Amino acid sequence: MRKISSEITIPMESMKAKWGTIDKKNPMFIYLELGVYITPKVKEESYTDNIAKIEKESKQIVKDAIGNTDSVKKDFIFVTDIADTRIMFGKKSYLSIQVHMGRRPQYSKQAFKDAVGDMDGQWKPVYEKILDTIESNGFACSKTKK
């Protein structure tokens, strides 16, 4: 049996955001993918510590949000991707954050579109908190590379 994946893009000004599932008819697992171009505000030798702090704080923000979301299990996978050793002052680098979550069985029959609609309103502050975390750790955020 072929599974039909589905993604729903969330309109945001400073970040790309989308919810997705690999099985639209039975969305037992869903994921959130956030992407943003970051540019250092201050010239430093290395930005590795800044990125590590962003990752740690963002993971805690997501953990708190999952704890307040009834439709998903408390276990999750949190992945960030950025070439932190190549970040340079005046140059944009792409930061990707992925969160993979299992849904609770009683919510699994809910249509994917409805599930995202229910969660998105609850998760809008999460997107903003992650952007604030990035900016408070010395980076400017942009949705595009230009």
Asked whether residue 68 is domain-assigned, the answer is yes
15 within 8 A of 127, measured Cβ to Cβ? yes
Q: State residue 37's pLDDT score.
A: 97
Instruction: Identify any residues that bridge with 21 across adjacent strands, giving them in sequence order.
Output: 6, 30
Asked whether residue 1 is domain-assigned, the answer is no
Dihedral sign for Cα atoms in the order 73, 75, 80, 81: negative
CATH of the domain at 60: 3.30.300.330
Report residue 2's pLDDT band, with 50, 70 and 90 as the boundaries: low
Asked whether residue 99 is domain-assigned, the answer is yes
Map tokens 């249509």 to a residue. 111
Domain range for 133: 6-142
Q: State residue 84's pLDDT score.
A: 83
Beta strand ranges found along the chain (DSSP E): 6-10, 16-21, 29-40, 72-81, 93-103, 139-142
Residue range 15-28: mean pLDDT, rounded: 89
Phi, psi for 28 (deg, rounded to 5): -75, -25
